[in-house]
Amino acid sequence: MASPSAHAAIIDGKAFAAGLVTRITTAAARLRASHGLTPGLAVVIVGDDPASQIYVRNKGERTSAAGMRSDTHRLEETTTQADLLALIASLNADSGIHGILVQLPLPPHIDASAVLDAIDPDKDVDGFHVVNAGRLAVGLPGLVPCTPLGSVMLLKDTLGDLSGLHAVIVGRSNIVGKPMAQLLLAESCTVTVAHSRTRDLPTLCRTADILVAAVGRPEMIRGDWIKPGATIIDVGINRVPSADPVKAAEGRTRVVGDVALAEASEVAAHITPVPGGVGPMTIACLLANTYTAACRSAGIEPETLDA
Ligand SMILES: Nc1nc(=O)c2c([nH]1)NC[C@@H]1CN(c3ccc(C(=O)N[C@@H](CCC(=O)O)C(=O)O)cc3)C=[N+]21
């Protein structure tokens, strides 16, 4: 069998996230020793979507392991918007809670943006509040959405200075695509945001030095869409039937990204895998934002968490 002509380096998000969590844990311990302050995160989940339950449990365990307070509020699927808003008001007023995360998606009878915008922006560790979106857009300090924040950390660790590089972001969501565009603009990239109406997406993607895939379509981005030597950030987490037909018939699944990893690896210089790439960075950045929010609540300058 012919050996592949080139092979991308895998960007090990899981290892980078582990290092970041260690630095956060150390910084949080120092904050407790110096100021008697323990960062506290409240996670609110409405309903019992199994994937959301796993993610929320995971997050609670990580928060506690980092020496922070973790409260999980599990509400029934039928919870009213008024009850959810009342809980958020009480968490906003709780001085022991520095971060509030309302797990998405919310049930259809609840207006998600009304709920997100009810969170105190200074406790909005997801960075989804309209005030934090505005702060990011104009370059003011605020809280930055975790997935884009973690993705840019990986890019800077891999490439160093990003200035002048052409970044193509596929996906224009408020939680990934748009904030990712703002962060990469702040790094002086030339940024193009593509979406479902973009014409000739493969040709556009081939102009990208940095390609960010955040569309939620399994393996949509193929090897021949990629510029040789590009760096690929795959934000997608898609559950698909197992590659093994026997296991698939038993209902077993696997997780794949928005990028066809094996094909893309033949062309790109660097690529984040799924799993083990951006996902672990999202959780690490949630802890980082909780630490940052706790420091700011007390007027303390957060320690640098850079590698
Ligand atoms: N308010 C809110 N904030 C969120 O940040 C948020 C949310 N709602 N709703 C759900 C999504 C999903 N999400 C993930 C984060 C990390 C992994 C992760 O670490 N995944 C691992 C394991 C993947 C697997 O095997 O399932 C990996 O990529 O390596 C996955 C999913 C955060 N979300």
Position 2 scores a pLDDT of 44
**Whose CA is closest to atom 10 on ligand 1?**
104
For 263, the token pair is: 């094909």
Inside any domain, residue 241: yes
**Ligand 1 interacting residues, C-beta cut-off 6 A:** 55, 101-104, 126, 146, 237, 255, 274-276, 279-280, 282-283
For 136, the token pair is: 């990011």
The verdict on 158 and 250 lying in the same domain is: yes
Position 191 scores a pLDDT of 99
The verdict on 59 and 180 lying in the same domain is: no
Position 5 scores a pLDDT of 58
The verdict on 82 and 156 lying in the same domain is: no
Position 51 scores a pLDDT of 85
For 31, the token pair is: 């904050």
**242 is an annotated ligand-binding site residue:** no
Domain that holds residue 241: 145-279
Inside any domain, residue 190: yes
Taking 50 as the pLDDT cut, the residues of the chain under it are: 1-3
User: How far is ligand 1, taken at its centre, from the CA of residue 282, in Å?
Assistant: 7
CATH number at residue 150: 3.40.50.720
Positions marked catalytic: 59, 103, 126
The verdict on 109 and 153 lying in the same domain is: no
ipTM, interface predicted TM-score of the complex: 0.97
Position 307 scores a pLDDT of 84
**Preceding amide of 275 cis, omega within 30:** yes
Inside any domain, residue 19: no
**172 is an annotated ligand-binding site residue:** yes
User: How far is ligand 1, taken at its centre, from the CA of residue 3, in Å?
Assistant: 35
CATH number at residue 106: 3.40.50.10860
The verdict on 187 and 256 lying in the same domain is: yes
The verdict on 177 and 211 lying in the same domain is: yes
Please spell the DSSP secondary structure of 236-294, one letter per residue.
--EEEE-SSHHHHHTT-EEEE-SB-HHHHHTT-SEE--SSSSHHHHHHHHHHHHHHHHH
The verdict on 175 and 239 lying in the same domain is: yes
